[in-house]
Amino acid sequence: MNTIEKHDDALIERSLIDFEMPPRPESASTSSLIAAVLRHWYIAVLVFLVMCAIGIPAIWLFLEPRYDVTGAIRVAPILSNILTGEADKGEISNYQSFMNTQADMVISPQVVQRVADDLTGKHLTFFEDQITGVGAELRRKMKGGKVKPDAANILKQAIYDGIITSVSKRDSELVKVTMTSNDPEEAKKIVDALIQAYMLVEVSNSLQGRDQQLTVLENEQKVLAEKLESQREAIQQLGQEYGSTTLTGRQDMMLARVSSLLAEQTKAEAKRMGLETQIKLLEEEKPSSPPNELMKMSEEYINSDIAVQELTKQLAQLEQDAIFSSQTMVLGNPMLQQKKDFVKTFQTRLDEKREEVSKKFDERMSKQVDKASADELANARLDLEQTVVYENRLREMLAKEDAKTVEVGRKQLAIEEIKEQLASTKEIYDTIGRRIQELEMERKRPARVSVAYNADIANIWDKRVKFTMALIFGALACGLFGAIIRDKADLSLHTPDDVVKRIGIRIIGTTTSPRTVEQALWSRQIAENYQAIRANLGLLDDGGMPKKLVITSPGPRDGKTTFAVNLATSISRSGKKVLLIDGDLRKPDIGRLLDIPRESRCLQDVLLGNKLEKAACAVFSNGLYVLAADSQSSIDPYELLASPRMAEQVNNISEEYDHVIIDTPPVLAFPDALLWAKAAGAVILTGFADQTTSPDLKKTKERLDEIGVRILGTVLSNVPIGRSYYRYGYGYYAQGGHTKRNGRNAAKRPLLLPTDNPDEKPNDLVS
């Protein structure tokens, strides 16, 4: 018995761990990145070495130290007046704007052209490289060859590219001209040439500007002198008529006279209007005395009549007599009635007389009123004629006086307006005279713009060390990034965690890679792996390990045959009677690898319903039986497995055994595995670390789920000891020391088959 058999007498009891992944800590992502880099470390190293090998020599060969050469121009913010010594604070309204303008003037086309003319023929390499260089030729071709590569255009391009700059220094009086170049001596010449050309242009512009100002001011002064003379003559001509240029008093007197005439005219107009109204009333209506007065006069006239007075006396006596008789006589007495009739008669007579007298009075009064009205109308018409004549005379006088007053006022306004123009012209004339004197004195004071210092090296920029360090870190980052990208693109399953995270299938167990275990302890470790798988299968939450179990995988060389043989062997060692069926009818390997006689390979006959006494062959004496398939059979595997009797035959065979393990073809290769899985009802998927991909395993799971097959879990083979299911068990047998072998995938998977020869190594099986 070999070493594995010595340690396999007692079944290791283990509790089934939770198949779900526990919550990952916050550093899980960092750990995953580190693991990804470690898996593909060669990519990171290769990228790092290639980038450093190419970049570092290029940096030190093609990058040269660059120099900042700077010269400065001083712009005085304040200049003192030579005559008064006062500062001309108002000459520059905004000093910073003036400084910015001067900075732009230093690199203006006029200055650049002067510099180009001065430096042409001095054989500066700056211009020669720009004219003959490959980059310059390429730029000219891109622009259609329209731009001549002369010195002026080269300087303009350098200014546009920021090689030459002119900037006003804030909080100072300096405009700094800077050029960045690999040759500091040539840069000094170019900067000094720019400053000198600017100074020549600035002095020329300043003198030319002052001469132009003086010419303009002197011409304007002559024009203003002639204008002053003409304005004085105009004032004298206006004042000759009245003998004075001040006509305010005369105008006031004339205005007072006009006002009095206007008031008198207003009175005459009012009187005329009153007379016209009176005449109109006299003509339209007959005048009459007031009613009360007329009644009073009428009453007096009637009462003064003798007949009326006599009748009134007699009527009074008769009334007294009648009253007396009415008191002494009885009613109905004829005398009393007669007296009353007399009273009425006299009363009627009196009324008639009074009416007669009243008519006479009215006739008399009407004649008198008509005469008075005619006299009043004649007087009113006469008065109206006199008033109209007077009013017309006043109007003529007022028109003449008003015209004279307006004429005087206009002359006064004209004189005042000309005086104001004269004063304004005189003020401008005096201002121009003072400005001419100031400009003549400004010619004698120092210039506002001067050279502060000539060009010299200000800074030295050697970025090769920084670029080298940046390249090293960049290459390292690119290498790490490449390793991570390669890991992200790698769809292979490496650890049990990958299966749980990507596919969502629980892990039943793992088998250890022989590359990570010492050769002397590897047999013990692989036995422990299968004991852990058996323990997990026995502790499933839905009844433990099923009687019929299909072992399959997504594709070939995923370790399914190795796992099927080893699992059947491990279960048989626990005292169970196990049947191992070679369900891969297209490429049966178990019978060949376990040396099953060809005449005993009769799985096809069993599935057809033929009853054979010894269809299954016993392997050694540990309760393991194998039902192998004939590789030379001409029966179509799919038609055989799709037969309705296939499931019945599998059930009949399994009645004699405790467990039936079926090895099938890959699920993604042929439909045979699905037919076997449907007949058995339970499946274990196998995968090979670093070879089986998650899309294949996920597609396999989906196909099995579609037919309703129960997937117990996944077993991942060839897993490093540090990532295996029971990663710390190996520490009980060894303190470390890994056996290193070349190659990524192991082609051989060792079996746990017992042998009678202790010196014989376990057989090897290729899945």
- Among 42-46, 83-87, 502-506, 665-669, top mean pLDDT goes to 665-669
Same domain, 467 and 546: no
Window from 594-598, 720-724, 740-744 with minimum mean pLDDT: 740-744
Question: 627 and 537 share a domain?
Answer: yes
Of residues 544 and 574, the one with the higher pLDDT is: 574
- Those residues with Cβ within 8 angstroms of residue 660's Cβ, 6 or more apart along the chain or in another chain: 547, 548, 549, 578, 579, 581, 650, 653, 654, 680
Same domain as 684, residue 673: yes
pLDDT at 663: 93
Same domain, 639 and 675: yes
* pLDDT at position 696 over 60: yes
pLDDT tier at 137 (50, 70, 90 boundaries)? low
Residues 496 and 533 in one domain: yes
Over pLDDT 90: what percentage of the chain?
3
Instruction: Domain of residue 59: give its range.
Output: 43-63+463-488
Tell whether the model's pLDDT for residue 169 goes beyond 50.
yes
User: Is 497 a domain residue?
Assistant: yes
Identify the H or E element spanning 248.
Answer: helix 248-284
- Predicted confidence band of residue 20 (pLDDT cuts 50, 70, 90): very low
Is 50 exceeded by the pLDDT of residue 647? yes
Mean per-residue pLDDT for 287-304? 69
Q: Phi and psi at residue 703, in whole multiples of 5°?
A: -65, -40
Q: Write down the pLDDT at residue 14.
A: 31
- At 445, the amino acid letter reads R
Asked if residue 580 and residue 477 are part of one domain, the reply reads no
Backbone angles phi, psi at 449, to 5 degrees: -105, 130
Give the pLDDT score at 744. 40
Classify residue 408: in a domain, yes or no.
Answer: no
Q: Measure the CA–CA gap between 209 and 216, rounded to whole angstroms.
A: 11
Residue at 457 is within a domain: no
Return the higher-pLDDT residue of 340 and 51: 51
pLDDT tens digits for range 228-285: 888 888 888 877 767 677 777 777 887 888 888 888 888 888 888 888 887 888 777 6
Predicted local confidence at residue 15, as pLDDT: 30
- Asked if residue 468 and residue 603 are part of one domain, the reply reads no
pLDDT at 104: 87
Q: What are phi and psi for residue 524, nearest 5 degrees?
A: -65, -40
Higher pLDDT, 686 or 355: 686
Residue pLDDT, tens place only, 384-401 = 888 888 888 888 888 888
Residue the block writes with tokens 């039986």: 625
Q: Across the chain, which distance is largest between two alpha carbons, in Å? A: 204
Instruction: Please give the Cα distance from 403 to 258 (Å, whole number).
Output: 10
Kindly state the percentage of the chain with pLDDT values over 70. 80
Do 711 and 591 lie in a common domain?
Answer: yes
pLDDT band with cut points at 50, 70 and 90 for residue 129: low
Cβ 483 vs Cβ 36: under 8 Å: yes
Alpha-carbon distance of 751 to 753, in angstroms, equals: 6
**pLDDT tens for residues 520-540?**
777 888 888 888 888 888 887
74 neighbors 450 (Cβ within 8 angstroms): yes
What is the model's pTM?
A: 0.45
Q: Where are the beta strands (DSSP E) in 104-150?
A: none
Residues 332, 89: Cα–Cα separation, whole Å: 138
Residue 12 identity (one-letter amino acid): I
3-state secondary structure of 655: coil
Are 651 and 688 part of one and the same domain?
A: yes
Residue 164 pairs with which residues in a beta bridge?
A: 179
CB 322 within 8 A of CB 343: yes
pLDDT greater than 90 at residue 739: no
Say if residue 473 is in the same domain as residue 542: no
Q: Nearest Cα to 62, choosing from 155, 157, 186, 182?
A: 182
Whether residue 110 is contained in a domain is answered as: no
In a domain, 313, yes or no: no
The CATH number given to whatever domain includes residue 628 is 3.40.50.300
2 pLDDT tier (thresholds 50, 70, 90): very low
User: How would you write 581-625 as a 3-class SS string?
Assistant: EECCCCCCCHHHHCCCCHHHCCHHHHHCCCCCCCCCEEECCCCEE
* Residue 55 neighbours by CB distance under 10 Å: 17
718 shares a domain with 607: yes
For position 747, what pLDDT does the model report?
38
| 81 within some domain | no
Domain presence at residue 26? no
- pLDDT level of residue 751 (50, 70, 90 thresholds): low
| Pair 653, 660: CB distance under 8 Å | yes
* Number of domains the chain is built from: 2
Domain boundary among 473, 488, 503: 488
Tokens read off for 3: 């070493």
Q: Which one has a higher pLDDT value, 28 or 417?
A: 417
Q: 470 and 604: one domain? A: no
Confidence of residue 12 (pLDDT cuts 50, 70, 90): very low
Average pLDDT over residues 103-108: 86
> Amino acid identity, residue 210?
R
In a domain, 608, yes or no: yes
